[in-house]
Structure 1
Amino acid sequence: MSTDGDDRLADVLSTVLDRVEPDADERAALDAVADSLLDRAETAVTERHPDADVMLVGSTARDTWISGDRDIDVFVRFPADIDRETLERDGLAVGHETLPDGHEEYAEHPYVTGERDGFAVDVVPCYRLDDATDIRSAVDRTPFHTTYLQERLDPALAAEVRLAKAFLKAIGVYGSDLRTRGFSGYLTELLVLEYGGFRPLLEAAADWHPPIHLDPEAHRAPRETASPSRDPEVDDVDLPFDDPLVAIDPTDPERNVAAVCSAENVARFQHHARALLADPELDHFESTDPAPFTPAELETVLADRATTPVAIRFDAPDLVDDQLYPQLERSRAGLVDALNRRGFDVCRSAAWAAETAVLWVELAIAERPAIERHEGPPVHVREHAEGFFDAYADDPDVYGPFLDGDRYVVEREREYRTAPAFLGSDALFGVRLGAHVETALEDGYDVLQGDDVTELCAEFGVELARYVRPTV
């Protein structure tokens, strides 16, 4: 980048930092609420367990939060010798005493969440352990993350983290939830720490060639014996890290902090890093949702595309996003596979959820012929060839058997000539679907085709606008 470009980038980053740096009033308000919550939690837990303590964690504890963020995370650390049932029972009791108007939520174990003076508050029980490798649930790592970064992030690096978070939010890749599959706050902090600032991170990312392997504490060479798997049915002990971005947790060498990051979001970060370096402008830090599509707009665009849109719409399962979106993705992928195998050639697909959920597919082929080709084995494979020939020799509903080259072939009636016919049949339940999605579909669903898909605009107008006008 030229000197002029350097100056422009510096000016842009200075302006952005002024926007995202919490001011004195914000800091004082957060500190007052956090101190009050910590006092209440400590009193409540030490009455039950004198050896317990409390800890502020997350970006507020590490001073990497962005102006306007209103999250406070209080962790209640119980002695390691109590059982899980006691931790959950007393953890909820402490949570309710700390946050009397809060309500219970459930992750690996229950916690209390609510609001206090305009701040979103989580009061989370965990075990107080000596080593992050001894964790009993994922939340037990969080205090180790906070301590590790508090010891290494000075105010200058904390400001660089704010810039990185603002950028990642603007390009839509900030968040480790399974809907976003992007960069967590902890990962963002580790990346800034690893590269020594936001701009060095951009410059490095612009030249990344995945898979990228980062190991802040040099635990060992690239891993051969640990897995990023988030599938509880997979025994991950003997599987290698195979993610596009690997950042070994400095507090736990068995964990890839970036395991949730999709390849697409790593590529998106690279694209926007290059764009910002090449053309430093404030709009790289700004994002807006497109105007929701109206039925007329969607109808016009789909007519121009001359494809065949089809959608399955059903009541969204009552699940948190981290459970719902993996199931929607599994169902979308299964649907695409089934339609492609039946020759409908899916151009693109998507899944959305609000009050209802939608599996959307856009097809290149609207209708298939009445017959389909079915190949048998080569004639020289005698046993199988004779079996195939005998199975169809006296079938009046097929053309053949006949030879095409050295292979028996028949042409038989196609079961489903259109995608809606397939989707409206019981054959849909032979598709690889998420378990709760399948249950929801069993309770009933609608198949929308052609112009009928414009009914989706009322609930998914923004998603449809993004879909038909895709950007990086």
Structure 2
Amino acid sequence: MSEEDTERDEHDAAGTGADDFESVVAAVHERIEPDAAERAHLRDVADRLTDRAETAARERCPEADVLQVGSTARDTWISGDRDIDIFVRFPPAVDREDLERYGLEVGHETLPDGHEEYAEHPYVKGTVEGFDIDVVPCFRLESATEIRSAVDRTPFHTQYLEARLDDALTADVRLAKQFLKGIGAYGSDLRTRGFSGYLTELLVCESGGFRPLLEAAADWQPPVELDPEGHRATLETGDALSFDDPLVVIDPTDPQRNVAAVCSAENVARFQHYARRFLDAPRADLFDPVEPASLTEAELCTHIERRGTTPVAVRFDAPDLVEDQLYPQLEKSLDGITRGLDDRGFDVFRATAMADETAAILVELAVSERPAVERHDGPPVHVRSHADGFYEAYADDPEAYGPFIDDGRYVTERPREFTTARAFLESDRLFDVGLGAHIETALEDEYTVLLGDEITTLLEEFAEQLSLYFEPRP
């Protein structure tokens, strides 16, 4: 466990010396609120780029307009945040193909050194004076329910929140965002699966502040549903969607969307855990992200020996994908591999996936070797049609024991296909478990199976991730 984690736990256990709530949040807010110089610098860069984008957009479509969106537009950004999001809106009469073409042209004129990236459609990303800039095309629509792509909603989000955020709530949004960053639950990317900025802003508005949000979250009983605009009550029968998520926040601008859909059950629970801890003993350090220590080879070997489990890893070259494409495929592959191991009796204890230049699916097994035979229960003898078929299938099998009768049904003991986890993972049957498409292609090219102490070779690339796995915290 890292020194910082130990200090946090000791502080919690002692329950003394904690500053009161108001003094802690006041001190935190003082250091996270952008100062006048930082605001002026951001405003200058944003205004120049917005004007440049508007000129380029209207040369192509006189009815186009440009607006800044996101946290820097709503003044909910934290000191040090460097994101400026510029949306170029085109009228709905423009077709999708022209919108994408215009959007890229405007983006490149706005950011001459920028590069193209792809979400639902392409956009231009670049850096200007230390700020990360996105120039994104979208349609200018009357309602978020008319959207043609996900980005069309974003201007409606900005309009909704600008009308509701006052200075006090804006300050509390900053606190909530920094708190979520500190506990590792902020970010809607598919690697983190945490709380997005928009979701955080809605939660603070709906709760009435940072402290009321913590108090509410501490007592959440998932699934939790919040409906800021009461959309559920106005929908006709059959119109509402059914959300199967631990936290549901109905988008005020689109009643068919759960703003918290990406938020994992683990991050909802993490927020609850630390909300309770902070309310019990307010501490400024909970707002500061804890960088995991790099696990040493000796420490890793000690964990393996102490736990008495068998770690096994499948390592391969990471597919060349953006994280939001890579991590869902890693999760799918992790689920498939763990299920394949469990189905063959190797009893998965815990597992995780990690990626950088290479990728690894690490599975910790309670059982790594199985007997040479496995029991196969057949139907009850009295169910003649099925029982006869089972008996005939195994009666002349020289490698099987039986069939014999146990508790009124036929049973046979047949040779096990794989007696070790390594044998299964190194076989072609690995490709039957349901892998992500690009992960499967990478494994077809080449992969390595690491067992037991062999996983120490992962330390060069994944020392921090292994620290998080073997020294976990809430």
SS in 1 for 2:376: strand
SS in 2 for 1:373: strand
The alignment status of 1:410 with 2:412, answered yes or no, reads yes
Q: Distance in 1 between matches of 2:461 and 2:473?
A: 21
Q: Give the counterpart letter for 1:258 in structure 2.
A: A
Q: Which runs of 4+ in 1 moved over 3 A?
A: 4-7, 221-226
1:129 counterpart residue number:
141
1:232 counterpart residue number:
none
How far off its partner does 1:223 sit? 8.1
How far off its partner does 1:192 sit? 0.4
Q: Distance in 2 between matches of 1:225 and 1:189?
A: 30
1:397 counterpart residue number:
399
Q: Distance in 1 between matches of 2:342 and 2:420?
A: 12
The alignment status of 1:467 with 2:464, answered yes or no, reads no
How far off its partner does 1:388 sit? 0.6
The alignment status of 1:446 with 2:448, answered yes or no, reads yes
The alignment status of 1:81 with 2:93, answered yes or no, reads yes
2:107 counterpart residue number:
95
SS in 1 for 2:232: coil
Q: Distance in 2 between matches of 1:313 and 1:184?
A: 31
Q: Distance in 1 between matches of 2:373 and 2:226?
A: 54
Q: Distance in 1 between matches of 2:334 and 2:370?
A: 22
How far off its partner does 1:296 sit? 2.1
1:144-181 per-residue CA deviation (whole Å, 9 max, x = no partner) reads 00011111101111110000000000111101111111
CA contact (8 A) 2:240 2:256 kept: no
1:272 counterpart residue number:
274
How far off its partner does 1:238 sit? 7.7
The alignment status of 1:304 with 2:316, answered yes or no, reads no
Aligned residue runs from structure 1 range 55-454, under 5 A: 55-221=67-233, 240-454=242-456
CA contact (8 A) 1:223 1:241 kept: no
Q: Distance in 1 between matches of 2:131 and 2:265?
A: 33
How far off its partner does 1:469 sit? 0.7
CA contact (8 A) 1:225 1:240 kept: no
TM-score (norm 2): 0.95
> Greater CA deviation, 213-222 or 73-82?
213-222
SS in 2 for 1:111: strand
Q: Give the counterpart letter for 1:36 in structure 2.
A: R
How far off its partner does 1:246 sit? 0.8
CA contact (8 A) 2:19 2:282 kept: no
1:414-471 per-residue CA deviation (whole Å, 9 max, x = no partner) reads 1100101000000000111111111111111000011110000000000001100110
Query: Cα RMSD between the aligned structures?
Result: 1.6
1:283-323 per-residue CA deviation (whole Å, 9 max, x = no partner) reads 21122222211222211210111111100000111111111
Amino-acid identity (%):
69
Q: Distance in 1 between matches of 2:234 and 2:223?
A: 11
Q: Distance in 1 between matches of 2:286 and 2:237?
A: 39
Q: Give the counterpart letter for 1:116 in structure 2.
A: V
For the structure 1 residues 6 and 363, does the alpha-carbon distance in structure 2 shift closer, same or farther, using more than 3 Å as the test?
closer
How far off its partner does 1:139 sit? 0.2
Structure 2 residue ranges without an equivalent (≥5) = 1-15
2:44 counterpart residue number:
32
Q: Distance in 1 between matches of 2:334 and 2:451?
A: 17
For the structure 1 residues 239 and 372, does the alpha-carbon distance in structure 2 shift closer, same or farther, using more than 3 Å as the test?
farther
SS in 2 for 1:55: strand
Structure 1 residue ranges without an equivalent (≥5) = 227-236
CA contact (8 A) 2:83 2:131 kept: yes
SS in 1 for 2:189: coil
For the structure 1 residues 293 and 159, does the alpha-carbon distance in structure 2 shift closer, same or farther, using more than 3 Å as the test?
same
Q: Distance in 2 between matches of 1:189 and 1:6?
A: 27
1:230 counterpart residue number:
none
Q: Distance in 2 between matches of 1:254 and 1:225?
A: 13
Q: Give the counterpart letter for 2:447 in structure 1.
A: Y
1:229-280 per-residue CA deviation (whole Å, 9 max, x = no partner) reads xxxxxxxx88511211111110111111011111111111001000000011
SS in 1 for 2:458: helix
SS in 2 for 1:65: coil
Q: Distance in 2 between matches of 1:417 and 1:365?
A: 11
Q: Distance in 2 between matches of 1:355 and 1:323?
A: 15
How far off its partner does 1:5 sit? 10
How far off its partner does 1:190 sit? 0.3
Q: Give the counterpart letter for 1:399 in structure 2.
A: Y
For the structure 1 residues 466 and 436, does the alpha-carbon distance in structure 2 shift closer, same or farther, using more than 3 Å as the test?
same
TM-score (norm 1): 0.95
How far off its partner does 1:225 sit? 7.5
CA contact (8 A) 2:400 2:413 kept: yes
1:11 counterpart residue number:
23
How far off its partner does 1:7 sit? 6.8
For the structure 1 residues 222 and 260, does the alpha-carbon distance in structure 2 shift closer, same or farther, using more than 3 Å as the test?
farther
> Greater CA deviation, 256-265 or 285-294?
285-294
